[in-house]
Structure 1
Amino acid sequence: MAATVDVLTSEVVVPAEETPAGAVWLSNLDLAARRGYTPTVYFYRANGEPGFFAADAMRDSLARALVTFYPIAGRLGLDGDGRVQIDCTGEGVVFVTARSGYVLDDLMEEFVPCDEMRDLFMPPAPPASKSSPPGVLLLVQVTYLRCGGVVLGMVLHHSIADGRSAAHFVETWASIARGASPRDAPVPPCFDHKLLAARPARTVLYDHPEYKSEPVPPARAVTASTYASAIITLTKQQVAALKARCGGASTFRAVVALVWQCACRARALPPEAETRLYSMIDMRQRLAPPLPPGYFGNAVIRTSTVATAGDVVSSPVGHAARRARAVTSQGDDYARSLVDYLEGVDTANLPRSGVSRADLRAISWLGMSLYDADFGWGAPAFMGPAIMYYSGFVYVMNAPWKDGAVALALSLEPESMPEFRKVFADEVARLTE
């Protein structure tokens, strides 16, 4: 990629008003989340209006959003027992402006989640950057493109928010930028993580293997940390045809089932090899009672199902979709069992490094308000993850044009990706024959 990015300004933005002090207690699901930052990008097409993504407007609306979402302006700290918490210090977040020679259409054509994109359009996350305050929880970069378009890059610490909460914050910030009062946030945030506290009498009813480190056989080991990534779009008609093949399975289950089949084939896994499909399930509406609509934190749990590669590849795609259903149908008793289980383990030592080269980890961003991030100049032309972390990662997202199309962001071993693209394209073409 020839274009570069030049930083124009870098500053710390604090809440526009005084905010509550004290600490926010983090649940076991917060502590079990990946330790680090989640970088995401939003691409905006120039619309010719004056003040398009003006730095002052973005900075001032961010400062007002931090009044409502005040824990984001704090820092991670420890309570008296050494447990990680959010210290609500109001110290602020990093806000960067930059300029790039990129043209939006070229960028969208070239874009795949990778380290290079993160480095171009995100402020470097601590501790890599000496200029960023230690422990900052949010870093934002507004990059002005040669064509007049804008890339908004966000780096939010995963210990304080999952994908749905991150989207909630951006949607609120955008509404404030459009002129709404911070006190009229679309959905007020709830920071009561005690709603996900372990029960006094811990009751672990399930095994929860996804939270245990197990020795990986050599044949299944990840041989390198590098990956190839891709963004693939399925039309509304292709999604409908796939769901019909899967007996009316949900969009997420049907799409993931096809990806799982094609990945097993592209990886040339022997028929007897075990392959595990991991997922992350949002439990907000599955708990009894459900969490408040504005619950801000981590409310997702890891689940998985295992099969042989031969079983996944040789059976109809509906069979894999039924297995995917087993991964995504857990309810309150499962979530409460997991929270109780995590109370008895050191969450600092949970497995977080990736999956083996026979496995996939699929995450649904379907139905999230990703394209409601309209700061007053129109909805984003694209939104997605900036990196994939490791090979075997799959995001299933709504495509930008809101017509039922689906976008996949996925990563595989570099040697497997060309074959995956071919196999997946062939299978999708068959859907509408």
Structure 2
Amino acid sequence: MGMKIVSRQIVKPAEPTWSGILPLTELDHVSVITHSSNLHFYEKPTEQCWLNSSNNKILNTLKESLSRILIPFYPLAGRLSWVGGGRQRLVLECNAMGAEIIDVESSMKIADFGDFYSSSDKFKHLVPQIDYFGTQIQDIPLLVVQLTRFVCGGLSVGISLSHMVVDGRSAFHFIDEWARLTRGEPMQVAPFLDRRILQAEDVNLSQTTQVFDDDENHLTYFNTLEGGKLETPTFVFLTKDKIERLKEVANNKDGEINSDNRRSFSRFEVITSHVWRCVCKARELKCDEITSLFVLVNARGRVDPPLPSSYFGNAVVQVTISSSVGDLISKPLSYICSTISEASTKVNNEYVYGFLDVLKTEESLTMHQYTDDRGTLQGPPYGDHNIMATSWLSLMAMGVDFGWGKEIYNGPPLVRACDGEVMIIPYNDGSVVVGVFLKPKEKFQEYMNLI
């Protein structure tokens, strides 16, 4: 790949910030517990902003704005630590130790990535590589940024955030505000940092300052997880016209457009329904077998009182939808969409806090935890009948401008993941890229294109 690391630097908040222990909620402890990444590609700025490492205007601008945005977003400058040296719970130490920014030079050109969404194997070099096994957890920055400069003059910004601290909505809130600050505009929406409304069970905070001399604070328990076999992604490109066609089919009931008062099915519901059906066909599952779909639902507006939209933390809950394979294949697409829609509407105040109560009774939450999509570590398998669908449709949009123009592409660096994982990512002009980690790849693509 011809990648050369020019520098690695720690960036601390530009002003003193609140310090202390911030207990994490149970929702922070489940799902991805390593870093999740996002990539932003930019063409060559109109101004020659870099000549060498000592005259890198873009790098210096990012460092300066990062130090300022870490003032209101100070949890990202902290570190994680195990409670009492055990493996049961983690807390966030707000200690202003800072984020890391890495400057990298590449011999590649942006054109080498082609259509971007099918170049996943190259993406892993453009996001920070984090050593979870060889580094104690209290020494791992929660935010790591990699600036990669290509020979064509373009660049990429790879942003890795600890998923223990933020979910996707919070991550993009931070990225948007950081970009706004970098291009010289004031912050628009401050993060809401009070997690007490979703607070985890009481912990003995006096134990969190203990220093450990052994390997107790490493993420070595990943070695004991029986993770699913990792697969490379299969990409299916859905144009805006194809998505509209799916919506027309899904919203047509028995050959007639629905006349009831229910809303039309969303892009997520129709795309996920189509993917679920096609996966079952590609796997050649029998009609009497049961298959499950796991989806994540944003709980911010579903609890009482509602969480602020700027709630900074993890506020998603998992919903499981099950059906017989025969029903998925033989019934109209509207049946699958309705099943997903009805399950999502059940996520209310009682559901969310009931989910929290169940988690609080568990001594260890490792069975609910898995890792990021870079294939370094494995997570729990979904089985050969089920899929896990993660959507970025409501999280992101093209247009993150750090001051040198809007990006030409952004998205997660899909490399490897467990069999059954699905990523739904917005692309240009209303089109969508579906990345599916699946063994029978050819048959799946064939079924997906039958729209």
- TM-score (ref. length: structure 2): 0.81
What SS does the corresponding residue of 2:158 show, helix, strand or coil?
strand
1:24-173 alignment to 2 at 5 Å? 24-51=22-49, 54-79=58-83, 83-109=89-115, 111-112=117-118, 114=120, 117-118=123-124, 120-127=125-132, 134-173=139-178
Compared with structure 1, are the counterparts of its residues 390 and 4 closer, same or farther at alpha carbon in structure 2 (3 Å cutoff)?
farther
Whole-Å separation in 2 of the counterparts to 1:318 and 1:47: 46
For residue 390 of structure 1, what is the amino acid of its counterpart?
Answer: C
Deviations 1:181-227 (A, max 9, x none): 4xxx2211011111113699xxxxxxxxxxxxxxxxxxxxx996231
Listed as ranges, the gaps of 5+ residues in structure 2 are 51-56, 203-225, 252-263, 370-379
Superposed counterparts of 1:366-405, under 5 Å? 366-387=393-414, 388-401=416-429, 404-405=430-431
Q: Distance in 1 between matches of 2:92 and 2:74?
A: 10
Determine whether 1:257 maps to 2:273.
yes
1:358 match: 385
In the alignment, the residues of structure 1 paired with residue 19 and residue 445 of structure 2 have an alpha-carbon distance, to the nearest angstrom, of 51
Give the secondary structure class of the aligned counterpart of 1:54: helix
Number of the residue aligned with 1:342 = 359
Cα distance in 2 for partners of 1:128, 1:159 equals 17
- Kindly indicate whether the alpha-carbon contact (under 8 Å) linking 1:104 and 1:149 is maintained by their aligned counterparts in 2: yes
Q: 1:91 to 1:168 in 2, by over 3 A?
A: same
Matched residue, 2:190: 188
1:231, distance to aligned residue in structure 2 (A):
3.5
Following TM superposition, by how much is the alpha carbon of 1:114 offset from its aligned partner in structure 2, in angstroms? 5.0
Task: Name the aligned partner's letter for residue 394 of structure 1.
Answer: V
Deviation at 1:112, TM superposition (A): 4.1
Shift of 1:88: 0.5
Distance, in Å, in 2 between the alignment partners of 1:110 and 1:198 is: 40
Task: Give the 3-state SS of the residue equivalent to 1:386 in structure 2.
Answer: coil
Separation in structure 1 between the aligned mates of residue 138 and residue 349 of structure 2, nearest angstrom: 39
The one-letter amino acid paired with 1:412 is L
Distance 2:133 2:49 in 1: 33
Secondary structure in structure 2 of the residue aligned to 1:109: coil
Cα offset, 1:270, TM superposition: 1.9
C-alpha spacing 1:133/1:288, structure 2 compared with 1 (3 Å)? closer
1:25 touches 1:86 (CA, 8 Å); kept in 2?
yes
In structure 2, C-alpha distance between the alignment counterparts of 1:319 and 1:360, rounded to whole Å = 18
**Partner amino acid, structure 2, of 1:282:** N
The list of structure 1 runs, each at least 4 consecutive aligned residues, that deviate by more than 6 angstroms after superposition, is 129-133
Do the aligned partners of 1:126 and 1:134 also contact (CA within 8 Å) in 2?
A: no
Contact 1:279 1:327 in 2 (8 A): no
1:311 counterpart residue number = 327
**How many Å separate the matches in 1 of 2:308 and 2:231?**
38
User: 1: CA distance between counterparts of 2:340 and 2:113?
Assistant: 34
1:244 aligns to 2:248 (yes or no): yes
- Pick one of 309, 317, 320 that aligns with 1:301: 317
* Whole-angstrom distance in 2 between the partners of 1:186 and 1:13: 22
**Contact 1:12/1:92, CA 8 A, preserved across alignment:** yes
Change (3 A) 1:59 1:354: farther
> Which has the higher mean CA deviation after the structures are superposed, 160-169 or 360-369?
360-369
Please identify, of 363-372 and 279-288, the stretch whose mean Cα deviation from structure 2 is larger.
363-372
Q: Distance in 1 between matches of 2:95 and 2:119?
A: 33
| Structure 2 contact 201–360 (Cα < 8 Å) conserved | no
- Deviates most, 123-132 or 93-102: 123-132
Matched residue, 2:54: none
Matched residue of 2:382: which SS?
A: coil
What's the offset of the Cα at 1:131? 12
Shift of 1:350: 2.6
For 2:46 and 2:133, locate their aligned partners in 1 and report how far apart those are by CA, in whole Å: 37
- Is the Cα–Cα contact under 8 Å of residues 228 and 411 in structure 1 kept in the other structure? yes
2:445 corresponds in structure 1 to 421
Partner SS for 1:148? coil
Distance 1:368 1:146 in 2: 31
